[in-house]
């Protein structure tokens, strides 16, 4: 009996030792995995930043080169078009790399703040009106009056979600002149439903459960790059899942178009009921899409671009390649440009400028005490007025949305496409 008890005690002791060793190995493995993940994130961020700068410069130079070749050597346009496709593919992949890296960083929390719905929808108009016009697709966005509807969300992330949905809608809608894409928002109690709807090819019901999976694409076995990589909706799903109180629903059928409903909570300070007064500033009424489009209400896409000639801009960018490309682009539109490589140099320019700047266009991150938003605040203090301003960065989601909103600064993601930059300039100067 005594021997049996001793054997059992020995076995129990050995099991405890084995269990302790297993726990130590598991903890060491978890720490190694965490360290590897952190190192990978740092490497991805560094590679992403270092590749974005020359890609941004190449994009802007290509825009200038295209305009020149179109006049002097039109026969070279097809070849230049192929170069633009290659650069476009690189910049698109960099953008996906950045978003996927952020979403894979589980320790990074998406913190909702109070965001004006109109600011998000206004940016959609600025970015996608041009591409829609090129594809002969009617693009309608219902805009409430600024400040009437305040959401509790991550503004940059929600903007990315809606941009993904609108981009997909434009991609899969007919270019025969009868296609349309509509965005509208309606309040239901303490939440807002933002609907992105199109009359495109639609999605068969047996595919609904898979469209949010990574790399899943319908009828694209050859992996045609023009149809994307199958990551857009998976990014949408993961983003919505990480935002409290947010949800997304899909309605679609083959030949009947597609509708995505994104539900977002209102900020707790919004207590009054939304009546006609809140929506009296709409550019299109919140009615049936077909009726809205038939009446032709909404933004007039054929409206001419604002004349930028003579607009005096302070440009601040520390990368010499990007700065040079931006100077060429802005001057090509007839703008007067004073450029600086640092916040300190920019403030010196502001202090000795012979007239007030009409616009500030600045990078966000600098190796200096001031970031881009601090610089804009200082320049406005020097000028004694709220000068219109645009911030650009390769990491827009990391910028505090509240700071952007308080300073009324528009944010543009790098690499910067000339068409997008032009739309942001037009919107920024028109809102003055």
Residue 176 belongs to a domain with what CATH number? Answer: 3.30.565.10
CA gap 92, 417 in Å, rounded: 11
The answer to whether residue 301 is domain-embedded is: no
Q: Which of 104, 126, 141 is the last residue of a domain?
A: 104
Alpha carbon separation from 203 to 79, 138, 228 (Å, rounded): 35, 20, 16
Closest alpha carbon to 302 in 177, 427, 163, 132: 132
Q: Outline where 73-110 has alpha helix (H).
A: 77-104
The residue among 36 and 151 whose pLDDT is bigger is: 151
**Residue 257 and residue 121 in one domain:** yes
**Residue 398 and residue 285 in one domain:** no
| Cβ–Cβ under 8 Å, residues 392 and 425 | no
- Taking residues 387-401, report their average pLDDT: 81
Q: Is the pLDDT of residue 156 over 70?
A: yes
Q: Is the pLDDT of residue 180 over 80?
A: yes
**Residue 159 and residue 280 in one domain:** yes
* Per-residue pLDDT reduced to its tens digit, 244-303: 999 999 998 888 899 999 999 999 865 444 443 444 343 433 334 443 343 333 333 334
Long-range contacts of residues 48-55, Cβ cutoff 8 Å, at least 24 apart: 48/94, 48/97, 48/98, 48/101, 48/394, 49/394, 51/90, 51/94, 52/91, 52/94, 52/394, 52/414, 52/415, 53/319, 53/321, 53/322, 53/414, 54/321, 55/87, 55/90, 55/91, 55/94, 55/415
Which CATH number does the domain housing residue 389 bear? 3.40.50.2300
What pLDDT does residue 41 have?
61
**Residue 78 and residue 153 in one domain:** no
Closest alpha carbon to 140 in 128, 156, 155: 128
The residue among 255 and 44 whose pLDDT is bigger is: 255
351 pLDDT band, cuts 50/70/90, is very high
What pLDDT does residue 80 have?
76
The residue among 214 and 53 whose pLDDT is bigger is: 53
Sign of CA dihedral 194, 200, 206, 207: negative
CA gap 81, 106 in Å, rounded: 39
Q: Is the pLDDT of residue 368 over 90?
A: no
175 pLDDT band, cuts 50/70/90, is confident
**Residue 174 and residue 272 in one domain:** yes
Q: Outline where 255-342 has alpha helix (H).
A: 276-279, 289-295, 320-332
* Per-residue pLDDT reduced to its tens digit, 208-230: 777 766 544 554 443 344 444 44
**Residue 277 and residue 346 in one domain:** no
The answer to whether residue 388 is domain-embedded is: yes
196 pLDDT band, cuts 50/70/90, is very high
What pLDDT does residue 300 have?
36
Q: Which residues pair with 196 in a beta bridge?
A: 183, 260
Q: Which of 266, 295, 324 is the last residue of a domain?
A: 295
| Cβ–Cβ under 8 Å, residues 162 and 125 | no
Q: Which of 104, 135, 164 is the last residue of a domain?
A: 104
The answer to whether residue 300 is domain-embedded is: no
Sign of CA dihedral 170, 174, 176, 179: negative
Q: Is the pLDDT of residue 395 over 60?
A: yes
Range of the domain at 364: 312-430
What pLDDT does residue 225 have?
46
**Residue 222 and residue 196 in one domain:** yes
What tokens were used for 384? 């004694």
- Taking residues 9-33, report their average pLDDT: 83
The number of domains in the chain is 3
| Cβ–Cβ under 8 Å, residues 354 and 332 | no
**Residue 193 and residue 148 in one domain:** yes
Report the range out of 29-38, 142-151, 180-189 with the highest average pLDDT: 180-189
Tokens 């970031």, residue? 371
- Taking residues 169-195, report their average pLDDT: 89
- Taking residues 132-145, report their average pLDDT: 86
- Taking residues 232-254, report their average pLDDT: 87
Q: Outline where 255-400 has alpha helix (H).
A: 276-279, 289-295, 320-332, 343-352, 372-383
| Cβ–Cβ under 8 Å, residues 376 and 360 | yes
Q: Is the pLDDT of residue 183 over 80?
A: yes
The answer to whether residue 392 is domain-embedded is: yes
What pLDDT does residue 21 have?
85
The answer to whether residue 307 is domain-embedded is: no
162 pLDDT band, cuts 50/70/90, is very high
What tokens were used for 16? 């405890």
Alpha carbon separation from 14 to 21, 26, 27, 69 (Å, rounded): 11, 18, 20, 79
**Residue 162 and residue 37 in one domain:** no
Q: Which residues pair with 338 in a beta bridge?
A: 314
**Residue 140 and residue 241 in one domain:** yes
The answer to whether residue 18 is domain-embedded is: yes
What pLDDT does residue 42 have?
63
Taking each helix axis from N to C end, the angle separating 418-430 and 2-72, rounded to the nearest 10 degrees, works out to: 80
Query: Of 76-80, 235-239, 341-345, which range is least confident?
Result: 76-80
The answer to whether residue 130 is domain-embedded is: yes
**Residue 202 and residue 264 in one domain:** yes
432 pLDDT band, cuts 50/70/90, is low
**Residue 154 and residue 211 in one domain:** yes
The answer to whether residue 422 is domain-embedded is: yes
* Per-residue pLDDT reduced to its tens digit, 92-134: 666 666 655 565 555 556 778 898 898 888 888 877 888 888 8
The residue among 208 and 422 whose pLDDT is bigger is: 422
Provide the mean pLDDT of the chain: 78
């Amino acid at each position: 009996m005594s021997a049996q008890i001793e054997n059992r005690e020995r076995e129990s002791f050995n099991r405890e030792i084995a269990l302790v060793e297993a726990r130590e190995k598991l903890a060491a493995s978890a720490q190694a995995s965490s360290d590897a993940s952190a190192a990978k994130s740092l490497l991805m961020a560094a590679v992403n930043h270092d590749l974005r700068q020359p890609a941004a410069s190449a994009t802007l130079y290509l825009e200038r080169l295209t305009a020149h070749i179109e006049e002097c050597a039109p026969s070279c346009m097809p070849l230049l078009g192929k170069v633009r496709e290659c650069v476009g593919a690189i910049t698109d992949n960099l953008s996906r790399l950045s978003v996927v890296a952020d979403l894979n960083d589980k320790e990074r929390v998406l913190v909702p703040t109070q965001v004006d719905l109109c600011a998000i929808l206004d940016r959609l108009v600025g970015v996608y009106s041009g591409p829609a016009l090129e594809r002969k697709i009617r693009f309608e966005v219902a805009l409430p009056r600024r400040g009437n509807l305040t959401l509790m969300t991550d503004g940059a992330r929600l903007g990315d979600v809606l941009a993904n949905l609108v981009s997909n809608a434009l991609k899969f809608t007919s270019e025969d002149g009868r296609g349309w894409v509509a965005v509208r928002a309606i309040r239901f109690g303490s939440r807002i439903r933002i609907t992105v709807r199109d009359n495109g090819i639609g999605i068969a019901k047996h595919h609904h459960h898979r469209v949010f999976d990574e790399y899943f694409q319908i009828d694209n076995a050859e992996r045609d790059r023009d149809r994307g990589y199958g990551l857009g909706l998976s990014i949408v799903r993961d983003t919505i899942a990480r935002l409290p109180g947010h949800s997304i629903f899909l309605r679609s059928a083959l030949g009947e178009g597609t509708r995505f409903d994104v539900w977002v909570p209102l900020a707790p300070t919004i207590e009054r009921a939304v009546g006609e007064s809140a929506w009296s500033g709409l550019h299109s009424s919140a009615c049936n899409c077909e009726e809205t489009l038939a009446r032709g209400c909404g933004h007039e896409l054929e409206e001419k671009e604002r004349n930028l000639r003579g607009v005096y801009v302070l440009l601040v960018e520390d990368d010499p390649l990007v700065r040079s490309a931006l100077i060429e682009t802005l001057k090509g539109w007839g703008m007067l440009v004073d450029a600086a490589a640092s916040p300190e140099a920019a403030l010196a320019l502001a202090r000795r400028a012979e007239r007030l700047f009409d616009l500030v266009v600045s990078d966000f991150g600098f190796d200096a005490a001031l970031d881009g938003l601090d610089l804009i605040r200082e320049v406005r203090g020097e000028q004694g007025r709220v000068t219109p301003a645009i911030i650009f960065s390769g990491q827009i989601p990391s910028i505090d949305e509240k700071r952007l909103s308080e300073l009324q600064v528009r944010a543009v993601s790098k690499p910067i496409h000339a068409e997008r930059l032009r739309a942001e300039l037009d919107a920024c100067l028109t809102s003055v």
